[in-house]
C-alpha cells in the first residue's frame, strides 16, 4: 500500500493542484455570471481547504458557520479561527440551527438521530442557498472524492451545491493539500466528522479509515478487479468488497433524478 500511496495517491504536485483549482474556481464563478461564492465552514478539513481556495480565487467570498447542539465547541472555534486567518471577519455569520431543526423534527414526529442529522444537513443547505441568493453568489461545495464515491454525504444536504472544487481529490489528498495551504494543524489532524449527532465520526460510521479506503477507491476507479486490489493494497478481500458495495449502493446520490422516457417505454 505504501508504494501505491507514493506512486499514485501521494504523487501530486500540490502547488500545481492549488493553481489549477483556484483558476478553475475563479473561471467558474465568472462564467456563471455570479458575483462570488459562499462556503459553509464547519471546522473540518474539507471546508477549511475549500474556504481557503475560494479566498484565493476571489475577494467576493462569504462564510457561514452553522452549529447545532451536536457541534463540538472546538469545531466552532477552529472555523472562526480559520475565517479570521482568511480575512473574513466582516464576511461571515454564525447561525445556530437547532431552532429550525427542532421545528422540522417536531413536524414529522421523529427524534431518530439519522433523520434529524439529515435535517441538519438540509437546513444548512437552505441557509447557504438563501444567503447565496441574497448576495448573488454561488454555493461552493466542500465534498471530497472519498465521500462522494462512498456516498458519505446527505443528498440535497451537503450534496446540494453548485460546484465541487475538491471533488476530484481523495480525503488523504485533501489533508496533504491542507498542509500545503497552511491550514491550522488542529484542523488538518482532526478526525473527520459531520457532527450530525454527538460522538459521530466518519471513519467510525464507515467502519474503515480513509488511509485504507482511499487506495481501494483509487484502484476501483482504475478498473482493477477486487482480488487484485486486495493483493496490491494488502486489504482483506471482504473489506474491498464492502467498499465496492458502498460505492454501488450510493450511485443514486451522485446522479441526477432519472426522467422516464415515456415514448420508449413498453406497455
Task: Name the residue among 137, 192, 171, 165 with its Cα closest to residue 51.
Answer: 165
Residue 116 CA to residue 119 CA, distance in Å, equals 5
Residue 70 labeled ligand binder: no
Residue 116 labeled ligand binder: no
- Choose, from 75, 78, 147, 158, the residue flagged as catalytic: 147
Task: Look up residue 108 and give its three cell numbers.
Answer: 414529522
Residue 122 labeled ligand binder: yes
Residue 181 CA to residue 86 CA, distance in Å, equals 11
Task: Look up residue 16 and give its three cell numbers.
Answer: 500545481
Residue 68 labeled ligand binder: no
Task: Name the residue among 119, 109, 113, 140 with its Cα closest to residue 26.
Answer: 140
Residue 16 labeled ligand binder: no
Residue 211 CA to residue 54 CA, distance in Å, equals 26
Residue 193 labeled ligand binder: yes
Task: Look up residue 234 and give its three cell numbers.
Answer: 494488502
Buried b (16+ CB within 10 A) or exposed e, 171-195: bbbbbbbbeebebeeebbebebbbb
Residue 49 CA to residue 209 CA, distance in Å, equals 20
Residue 43 labeled ligand binder: yes
Residue 247 labeled ligand binder: no
Q: Which helix (H) or strand (E) holds 38?
A: strand 36-40
Residue 253 labeled ligand binder: yes
228 is catalytic: no
Residue 113 labeled ligand binder: no
Residue 99 labeled ligand binder: no
Residue 41 CA to residue 187 CA, distance in Å, equals 12
By the 8 A CB rule, do 253 and 164 touch? Answer: no
- Choose, from 46, 144, 158, 214, the residue flagged as catalytic: 46
Quick count: other Cβ atoms within 10 Å of Cβ 257? 5
Residue 26 labeled ligand binder: no
Residue 45 labeled ligand binder: yes
By the 8 A CB rule, do 140 and 166 touch? Answer: no
102 is catalytic: no
Indicate the annotated binding residues for deamido-NAD(+): 122, 155, 162, 252-253
> Which residues are catalytically annotated?
46, 147
The binding site for Mg(2+) comprises 46, 147
Query: Which amino acids are annotated as binding site, given as ranges?
Result: 40-47, 122, 142, 147, 155, 162, 171, 193, 252-253
Q: Which residues are annotated binding-site positions for ATP?
A: 40-47, 142, 171, 193
Amino acid at each position: 500500500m505504501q508504494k501505491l500511496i507514493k506512486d499514485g495517491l501521494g504523487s501530486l504536485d500540490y502547488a500545481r493542484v492549488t493553481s489549477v483549482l483556484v483558476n478553475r474556481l475563479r473561471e467558474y464563478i465568472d462564467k456563471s455570471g455570479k458575483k462570488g461564492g459562499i462556503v459553509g465552514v464547519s471546522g473540518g478539513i474539507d471546508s477549511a481547504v475549500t474556504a481557503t481556495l475560494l479566498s484565493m480565487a476571489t475577494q467576493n467570498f462569504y462564510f457561514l458557520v452553522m452549529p447545532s447542539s451536536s457541534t463540538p465547541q472546538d469545531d466552532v472555534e477552529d472555523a472562526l479561527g480559520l475565517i479570521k486567518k482568511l480575512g473574513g471577519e466582516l464576511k461571515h455569520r454564525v447561525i445556530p440551527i437547532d431552532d429550525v431543526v427542532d421545528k422540522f423534527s417536531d413536524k414529522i414526529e421523529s427524534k431518530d438521530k439519522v433523520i434529524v442529522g439529515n435535517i441538519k444537513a438540509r437546513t444548512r443547505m437552505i441557509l447557504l442557498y438563501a444567503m447565496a441568493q441574497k448576495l448573488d453568489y454561488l454555493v461552493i461545495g466542500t465534498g471530497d472524492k472519498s465521500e462522494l464515491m462512498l456516498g458519505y454525504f446527505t443528498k440535497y444536504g451537503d450534496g446540494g451545491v453548485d460546484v465541487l472544487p475538491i471533488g476530484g481529490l481523495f480525503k488523504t489528498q485533501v489533508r496533504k493539500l491542507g498542509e500545503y495551504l497552511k491550514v491550522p494543524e488542529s484542523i488538518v489532524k482532526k478526525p473527520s466528522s459531520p457532527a450530525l449527532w454527538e460522538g459521530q465520526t466518519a471513519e467510525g460510521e464507515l467502519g474503515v479509515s480513509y488511509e485504507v479506503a482511499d487506495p481501494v477507491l483509487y484502484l476501483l476507479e482504475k478498473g482493477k478487479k477486487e482480488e487484485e486490489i486486495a493483493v496490491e493494497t494488502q486489504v482483506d478481500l471482504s473489506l474491498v468488497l464492502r467498499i465496492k458495495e458502498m460505492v454501488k449502493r450510493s450511485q443514486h446520490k451522485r446522479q441526477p433524478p432519472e426522467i422516464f422516457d415515456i415514448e420508449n417505454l413498453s406497455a
